[in-house]
Amino acid sequence: MRTANNQRNIMNADQGFERFQAFINCQLKPSRTGDAAPPELRRWRAVTISRQTGCGAKAIADDLAEYLQSHSGRNAQPWMVFDRNLVEKVLEEHNLPASMANYMKEDRISELEDIMEELFGLHLPKWLLVRKTSETILHLANLGHAILIGRGANIITSKLPFVFHIRLIGSLDKRVERLRQERRQGEKAALKFIRAEDNARRRYLKKYFGRNADDPMLYHLVINTDLVSSETAAAMIGGAVLENAAGK
C-alpha cells in the first residue's frame, strides 16, 4: 500500500512540476506590448539584483534604496529592499505556516532530501514554493519601488518592460575577504560558504528556470565590485534607473 501511495505521490509531483514549468515558460514569453507600451510603463519601476556570494549585494541594495529615495519627490512611495524578508512576504501573501521558511532558501536542501520529504508529505513540493515565490516577486515588481535580490527575480520579471536587471560579480579572493570581515570567520570557512552558496544558486536557477546566472545577456548592467565601492555601485545603478529610459 505504501509503495502504491508513493508512486501516486511521484506522479502527482511530476504533473505539478510540469504545470509549474508551464507557468514559468509563460512568464518568460516576450511581452506582446514590447516597445508599444505607454511611457509610464517604460519607466524603471523595480530593480533586480543577481549576485555572486560575497559581493555585498545587501549593502548595495540598501544604498540604492537610499539613493533613489533621496532623488524622489517628498511624497514618493518608499523604495523597499526584498532579500531574506521576501520569504516573510511570500508566507504572508499565500497564508503559509512559518515553518515553510526552512524550505524556501535558494536550493539549500539537497535534491534527495527534498524528494524524500515530499514523498512522505513532510512539506509542500519545492516547485510549488518556488511558484508562490515567483507570484509574489511579480506582484512586488508590478507595485513598483521594489529592489529584489536573488531567487531568479530577473528571470521571473524578464518580460516586464519596467524592471532593471543588475548582476554583481567579483574575484574569489575579494569575496572571501569581504565575508571574513562581515561574518568574522576564517578563510577556509568563508571559501566553503561561498562555494556552497554559489553552487546552490546556480542549481536553483538551472533547475527551476533553465537559465545560467552567469549569462551577461540577462542583465542591463554587470558591476565588478572589486573595482567600485557600495556607494559608487548604488549611484551607478540609481543614475541609470532615474533616467526613465526603460523600453528604449
Closest CA to 222 of 204, 241, 237: 237
User: Phi, psi (5° rounding) for residue 81?
Assistant: -100, 130
Q: Given a cut of 70, is residue 111 above it in pLDDT?
A: no
Q: Given a cut of 60, is residue 2 above it in pLDDT?
A: no
Distance CA 101, CA 157 (A): 23
How many C-beta neighbours within 10 Å does residue 76 have? Answer: 11
Instruction: Output the 3-class SS for the chain.
Output: CHHHHHHHHHHHHHHHHHHHHHHHHHHHCCCCCHHHCCHHHCCCCEEEEEECCCCCHHHHHHHHHHHHHHCCCCCCCCCEEECCHHHHHHHHHCCCCHHHHHHCCCCCCCHHHHHHHHHCCCCCCHHHHHHHHHHHHHHHHHHCCEEEECCCHHHHCCCCCCEEEEEEECCHHHHHHHHHHHHCCCHHHHHHHHHHHHHHHHHHHHHHHCCCCCCHHHCCEEEECCCCCHHHHHHHHHHHHCCCCCCC
Place 68 in a pLDDT band, splitting at 50, 70 and 90: very high
The cell 507600451 sits on which residue? 37
Instruction: Read off the pLDDT of residues 21-63 as tens digits, 9 standing for 90 and up.
Output: 454 455 445 444 444 445 454 578 899 999 999 999 999 999 9
Instruction: Read off the pLDDT of residues 114-145 as tens digits, 9 standing for 90 and up.
Output: 554 445 444 456 777 788 888 889 989 998 89
Q: What is the mean pLDDT of the chain?
A: 77
How many C-beta neighbours within 10 Å does residue 85 have? Answer: 11
Distance CA 133, CA 125 (A): 13
Calculate mean pLDDT across residues 158-170: 94
Check if the beta carbon of residue 148 is closer than 8 Å to that of residue 136: no
Pairing of strands 80-82, 146-149: parallel
Structure confidence at residue 86 (pLDDT): 75
Distance CA 5, CA 11 (A): 10
The cell 559608487 sits on which residue? 232
Pick from 32-41, 95-104, 146-155, 212-221: least confident: 32-41
Check if the beta carbon of residue 45 is closer than 8 Å to that of residue 242: no
Check if the beta carbon of residue 88 is closer than 8 Å to that of residue 133: no
Please give the domain boundaries of the chain with CATH numbers for all domains. Answer: 43-85+128-241 (3.40.50.300)
Q: Given a cut of 80, is residue 109 above it in pLDDT?
A: no
